Amino acid sequence: MKNKPIPEEIVNRVWSESGIKSIETASIREVKKLINDIEKASGKKFVRMEMGIPGLPACQIGVDAQINALNNGVAALYPDIEGIPELKQETSKFVKNFLDLNVSPASCIPTVGSMMGGMAGFMTFVRANKERDTTLFIDPGFPVQKQQHRVLGLKYETFDVYNYRQDKLKDKLESYLSKGNIHTIMYSNPNNPSWICFTEKELQIIGEMANKYGVFVFEDLAYFGMDFRNDISQPGRPPFQPTVGKYTDNFALLISSSKAFSYAGERIGMLILSDKLFNDQYPDLVPYFNTPLLGKAIIFGAVYAISSGTSHSAQYALAAILKACNDGTYNFLDEVSIYGKKAQMMKKMFLDSGFQLVYDKDDDKDLADGFYFTISYPGLSGEELLKELLYYGISAISLTITGSEHTEGLRACVSLVPMEQLPELEERLKSFRENHKD
């Protein structure tokens, strides 16, 4: 047996003190706290792959614009709930330049991160049609959106898309939508946690199903442009970020500043409705929002009720960042491409040490290298693997909490692992391999 880098008795003691019953079902924040405590008790640094935090400095263009806005006194003033005109304008242009979709500035609404955009959307979409009270998650997915459903008392259904890629997606979606209770289809693309990216065909199927059954599609673009197999970084020129908006007008998009612009701390994102949805009327909204208009209901009902708008200075920051992207003076994908490079190196280390990728293909193409990848180890359940890796100073989260049926799998996030730590990761994986050769 090779020595394990973190003494077993320390891991076991800190774990039992943590009160976590099963690491497989622990939330990401609970795992984070556990690792912090083990690091403190052992004096050893972990290779931290549990949390999807941007590992880069915030976009300086945003920081400068925000400081400027604060110096100009915006902190004292409530921002308009629908957002400052500059940000709405630049978002509309950004959507045209990088998604090739036409949306008017009015349909672009700032929110306190995509988290709040999701919440405002779910709260409103569920009231649009009395008969439809359930969200359909195309999983695996981001666990907090299900937490939002639980705290709001909203219903959801879910399936793991692993076995339903390409043509098979149509029948699977239809089996849910034909029941008539679904108001919204929700997914992230690129996908957190699996990093699968839907093909044009799959997006077309989702769009056509949304048209056929009259449901909303909520497309979460938290990892905008980060399918590094295609360089979408040139404004107004193809290729563009793939989107369901090409195939249906029933779309709502979430564009986060957190990962693409490393602006997570200021909690700002954009909720964008198609112009059709923004102006559509749903009489069932009236008792809750005093208006049948979906766009108005989201802004003056949901966003007003949750936070009365979004941080004034952060809106100036995002407006400046988007303007620089639109003008072609700032290439945001240059900054974040380091995630793809790290993923490529780290994936190789895991594979060389006997691990397997859980989600590995988009149609016939290997998955892109990006923010996350998914791993398993033959003969170990996800819970066993997660626990065992703790002794080697490596942390991740279980796929179980993401709605994946692959309970043997873990999600690894590359963002917080510095390049300098990669040799140590390789060493630790080698020791793991030595101790787990059947």
Minimum separation from the CB atom of position 131 to ligand PLP (A): 28
Q: Which stretch binds ligand PLP (CB under 6 A): 195-203, 227-235, 241-249, 256-264?
A: 256-264
Cβ nearer to ligand PLP, comparing 188 with 353: 188
Q: Note whether 188 binds ligand PLP by CB under 6 A.
A: yes
The answer to whether residue 142 forms part of the interface with ligand PLP (CB under 6 A) is yes
Binding footprint of ligand PLP, residue count (CB under 6 A): 13
Determine, following the binding rule CB under 6 A, whether residue 114 of this chain makes contact with ligand PLP: yes
Q: Which of residues 51-70 bind ligand PLP (CB under 6 A)?
A: 52
Name beta bridge partners: 217: 185, 251
- Dist CA 317 CA 63 (whole Å): 6
Q: Which of the ranges 109-117, 238-246, 285-293, 342-350 carries the binding residues for ligand PLP, by CB under 6 A?
A: 109-117
Q: Could you tell me which of 238, 252, 94 has the C-alpha nearest to residue 186? A: 252
Q: Which of 55, 62, 79, 113 is in the footprint of ligand PLP by CB under 6 A?
A: 113
Q: Does 158 bind ligand PLP (CB under 6 A)?
A: no
CA atoms 432, 434, 435, 436: torsion sign: positive
Q: Which is nearer to ligand PLP, 144 or 338 (CB)?
A: 144
403 contributes a contact to ligand PLP by CB under 6 A: no
Which helix (H) or strand (E) is 220 found in, with range? strand 216-220
Q: Name which position in 107, 124, 194, 256 contacts ligand PLP (CB under 6 A).
A: 256
Contact residues for 132 (Cβ-Cβ < 8 A; gap 6+): 126, 180, 181, 182, 183, 215
In whole angstroms, give the CA distance from residue 174 to residue 408.
28
Q: How far is the CB of 122 from ligand PLP (least distance, A)?
A: 13
- Residue 157's φ and ψ, nearest 5 degrees, are -125, 160
Handedness of CA 133, 175, 162, 362 (dihedral sign): negative
Per-position DSSP letters for 114-156, written without gaps between them: HHHHHHHHHHHHTTS-TT--EEEEEES--HHHHHHHHHHT-EE
Nearest approach in angstroms of CB 114 to ligand PLP is 3
35-54 residues near ligand PLP, rule: CB under 6 A: 52
Question: Which of 399, 355, 404, 356 lies closest to 24, judged by CA?
Answer: 399
Q: Does 220 bind ligand PLP (CB under 6 A)?
A: yes
Interface residues with ligand PLP (CB under 6 A)?
52, 113-115, 142, 188, 192, 220, 222, 256, 258, 264, 269
